[in-house]
Every structure is written in C-alpha cells, then in structure tokens.
C-alpha cells in the first residue's frame, strides 16, 4: 500500500481545534475561582474539555499510521528514514521533560532531584504519553513486520489496555518499579497521562487510520466515513449508555474509555465532512494543527514556565485560582492570539527559509541549555 505524500486538512483541522480547546482548558483549570468549580457551567465545560486529550492522543496514532504506511519499507530497513522518525518522537519526549522541570537550573535540579513520586520531573504529561506510545508502536512495527497484523494487533492491545486499566491502577506499581517508570504505567503524583489507559487512544487511532486507508486505496472511502463511524459509534455509545450508572466519568473504567473514543470518532467524521464541503474550512486552525507541538509547548510555558518571574514557575503561581469567567475568557483569547502569532511566524519561516528555521531550532535548544547552566537558583 503506497500513499501519496499529502496533508489531510481534516486531520489538521481536528488537531488545531483540539489545541485551541486545550489552551482554554489549561487557562480554566489554572485560574478559575475555586468556588465556581461546583457550578453547572463549569461541569459542562469540563465534560467538553474532557474530549481534548483523547482527541490529541487519537490523532497522534492516526497520523502514525499514515506516515508508517507511506514509509513502510524504509522503516523496516531501519535506514535514515527510521532514525529521523524516531528522532521526532524523542524530540516530543524531550519537550515533555523540559516542560516538567521542577527548576530551570541544572545546579538546583541535580542537587534536589530524587526518585520520590513527589518530584515534578517524573510526572508523565500528554507529550510523554504520545512520545512513548509512538516509540513503542515503532518498535512493534519492526518486530511484527506485517501491515495487517501490526494494526490489528494495535487495536487488540488498545482494547486490552482499556480493560486492564482498573487492575493496573489498583496494583502497587510504584513499589515494584522505580518512580520514573511507574509514572508511565499508572497515575501517581504529577503523572496525569500514564499509558494506562491513555495509550489506548493512540493505538485505536492507528488502527482506525489503517482501516480508513485500506478502504481509501480500494476506492471505498465513503464506506468508512458514512457508514463506518455511524454504526461503530452508535454501538459504542449504546455500550456507554448501558453502563452510564456505573460510569461516574471515571477514566479508569473501560466504558468511560469507549464513550470518549466514540465521541472522538464522531468528531473525526465531522471534520472529514467539513473538508468535503470546503478543502480548508479555517486556514489558521489548520496551521495550528500543523504546528501543534509549538502551540502546546508555548502556552504551557507561558502559564507554568518562568516567563514572567524568573524565580518561580510561571504566572499560575503568582495568580492562582482567583479569576472570574470573563477574565478567563479574556486570558484565553490573549493566550490564543500569542499562540497563533508564534505558529504563523514559525510556519512561514519554515516555508520560506527551511535552513534558517533549522538553525533557529538548534539555536533555541542551545539557548535553553545555556540558561539551565548559568541559572543558579
């Protein structure tokens, strides 16, 4: 199966909207007055925002399948294409750890670091989960070496992860494995996105993408985007509704996982439908989707990083949960505007002068390293 090297705007649109809602989610959770957390308005927004992470993870797997099938032979040969792909996943992991630094000083970090689960650096966030899931899938690709078997296996493992999650999270993983590894397996302190259950969304994204591409190659794409999502999501939603009483919106429970997965698949079909009506519905959102790593890192750094106060970790620690809904809306718009400007500038630089963009990218990491070295507290 050989696919043309193109970008699909419906994927970038979906990812772009996921990033925008992620900005709103982080601003809301970081700054909204605590007494408003019990209101109906917050609960509705919290439910909507709860689709952001599954969407982001699902699309990572969805894109993995597109890239892997296009570069299948090169990946199996473990040539420069393989190492380039692996380096991209490792970059995502590096960004994740950089954003989780408890101190932006090597001196302080090395003098205070420990294997305690209370150490921020060992916490796994969504970037850690995405990167590790993609790396594991890439390794599995080398082991299995057969397309059909690989993606069917990913779907089966995704199901297994969702059903085994309650048992895994109830087990004393942190007493068996060292904290840096335990944080990837179950939710301990600062580990918001362990592989159980969140990797399941990545695996299912890859499996569903493979089904779509198989039908697309056979000129039967409509069977997937018209009948497929309708029937599959209806069935999954029925399962979710059947267990609604036991659900309690608990991410540990399989029915919660499948309900969220169903909604993500529905959204995927919706954005594909939009693409059929107009090739690129909202170009700026597509651009954010294409530069999602930058968009994610930028807004997280502004909220939690030492941008405004070099002695602490970001504006969230100086403000706290004290803001009104109107202030939250204004802060979200302001942060979104900054993120869009950064993504637009970076995207244009890469298009007009990729060599300069590459030097800027390397230079930025060098500056970060220098800052970590010279900062003493």
40: its two tokens? 């109906």
- Could you give the count of Cα atoms lying within 13 Å of 14 in the half-sphere of its Cβ? 29
The tokens for 326 are 């109107």
Residue 244: per-residue pLDDT: 56
Three-state DSSP class for residue 1: coil
Q: pTM value?
A: 0.91
State how far the alpha carbon of 239 is from the alpha carbons of 16, 200, 201, 248, 255, in Å.
29, 17, 17, 14, 7
Q: Which residue stretches of the chain have pLDDT < 70?
A: 1-6, 116-118, 227-251, 306-319, 377
Q: Residue 281: its pLDDT value, please?
A: 80
pLDDT at 222: 79
- Phi (first) and psi of residue 375, to 5 degrees: -75, 125
At 243 the pLDDT is 59
DSSP assignment of 240-309, as one string? HHHTHHHHTT-TTSHHHHHHHHHHHHHHHHHHHHHHHH-SSS-HHHHHHHHTHHHHHHHHHHHHHSSSS-
Q: What pLDDT is stored for residue 130 in this prediction?
A: 97
Contacts of residue 71, defined as CB under 8 A and 6 or more positions apart, other chains included, come to 81, 85
Domain boundaries defined on the chain: 9-374
What integer pLDDT is reported at residue 188 of this predicted model?
Answer: 81
**Predicted local distance difference test score (pLDDT) of residue 187:** 84
β-strand partners of 323: 32
Give 312's contacts (C-beta < 8 A, 6+ positions apart). Answer: 306, 318
Chain CA centroid to CA 172, Å: 26
pLDDT score of 139: 97
């Amino acid at each position: 199966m050989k696919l043309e090297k193109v970008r699909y705007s419906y994927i970038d649109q979906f990812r772009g909207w996921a990033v925008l809602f992620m900005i709103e989610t982080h601003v809301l959770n970081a700054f909204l007055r605590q007494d408003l957390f019990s209101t109906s308005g917050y609960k509705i927004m919290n439910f909507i925002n709860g689709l952001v992470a599954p969407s982001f993870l699902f699309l990572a797997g969805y894109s993995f399948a597109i890239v892997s099938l296009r570069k299948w032979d090169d990946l199996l040969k473990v040539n420069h294409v393989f190492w380039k792909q692996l380096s991209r996943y490792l970059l995502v992991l590096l960004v994740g750890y950089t954003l989780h630094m408890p101190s932006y000083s090597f001196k302080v970090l090395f003098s205070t670091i420990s294997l305690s689960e209370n150490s921020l650096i060992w916490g796994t966030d969504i970037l850690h989960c995405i990167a590790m899931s993609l790396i594991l899938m890439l390794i599995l690709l080398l082991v299995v070496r057969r397309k059909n078997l690989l993606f069917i296996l990913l779907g089966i493992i995704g199901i297994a992860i969702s059903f085994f999650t309650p048992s895994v999270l109830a087990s004393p993983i942190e007493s068996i494995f060292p904290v840096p590894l335990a944080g990837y397996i179950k939710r301990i302190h600062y580990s918001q996105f362990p592989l159980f259950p969140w990797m399941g969304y990545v695996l299912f994204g890859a499996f569903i993408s493979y089904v779509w591409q198989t039908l697309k190659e056979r000129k039967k794409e409509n069977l997937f985007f018209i009948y497929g999502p309708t029937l599959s999501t209806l069935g999954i939603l029925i399962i979710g509704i059947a267990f609604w009483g036991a659900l309690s919106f608990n991410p540990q429970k399989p029915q919660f996982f499948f309900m969220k997965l169903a909604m993500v698949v529905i959204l995927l079909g919706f954005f594909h439908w939009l693409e059929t009506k107009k090739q690129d519905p909202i170009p700026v959102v597509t651009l954010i989707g294409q530069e999602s790593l930058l968009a994610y890192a930028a807004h997280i750094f502004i909220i939690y990083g030492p941008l405004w106060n070099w002695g602490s970790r970001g504006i969230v620690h100086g403000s706290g949960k004290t803001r009104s809904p109107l202030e939250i809306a204004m802060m979200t718009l302001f942060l979104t505007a900054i993120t869009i400007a950064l993504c637009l500038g970076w995207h244009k630089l890469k298009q007009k002068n990729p060599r300069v963009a590459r030097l800027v990218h390397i230079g930025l990491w060098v500056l970060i390293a220098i800052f970590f070295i010279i900062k003493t507290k």
